Amino acid sequence: MIFTETKLKGAFLIDIDPRNDNRGFFARAFCQKEFENHGLKPTIAQANVAFNHHRGTIRGMHFQFPPAAETKTVRCTRGAIVDIIVDLRPESPTYLQHIEVELTEDNHRAIYVPERFAHGYQVLRDNTETSYQVGEFYTPGSEGGLLYNDPRLALSWPLPLTVISEKDQAWQPLDNQETELKRRMSL
């Protein structure tokens, strides 16, 4: 695997290193030792799959508060997405900054999302599927979210919105929740 740290400390792009032959290729997509060697948490508490019917669908921006903060390794296994993560660590020099990356079935790329980051994506092709390896169990009382269109975040979604859940539309603007967010996300 090839690990590339992003401008957000602790967030990595993970590319496979395929071994090709006449059948196709074989590549490692996860290795506990390699994750540890890059300072990443290799714990997988849950493995999840999300299927999306329509291009333009947005899922996010989701996170869990400590002590149930979660890491995520996200890969698009069918179709394509633009994945966005936002640094929610109040002590970080990149607090509230974000990156976006295209994950596709063709590039086989994954993104490692550290604890105390928000995560979401927009579907670029109909019938897209993503796979998540999550480092903490889903804990409903610890979940939180940011509005996908919060002007303070200035997230750039490449397509017009077609589908979003009621829950994701109902997150509070950052201005209404930042004090509590900082308090709960502080170490």
Three-state DSSP at 161 gives: coil
Distance CA(44)–CA(63), nearest Å, equals 16
Q: Examine the residue annotation and report whether 132 is marked as an active-site residue of this protein.
A: yes
The single residue of 62, 112, 121, 148 carrying the catalytic annotation is: 62
- Which one, of 91, 147, 92, lies nearest residue 120 by Cα? 147
Kindly provide the b/e burial profile for residues 50-88, where b requires at least 16 CB atoms within 10 angstroms of the residue's own CB.
bebeebbbbbbbbbbbeebbbbbbbbbeebbbbbbbbbb
Q: Specify the pairing of strand 117-123 against strand 80-87.
A: antiparallel
95 classed as catalytic: no
- Residue 52's DSSP bridge partners are 128
The H or E element that residue 75 is part of is strand 72-78
Of the residues 112, 121, 132, 148, only one is catalytic, namely 132
Nearest to 148 by CA among 85, 102, 105, 94: 85
Q: Which residues are catalytic?
A: 62, 132
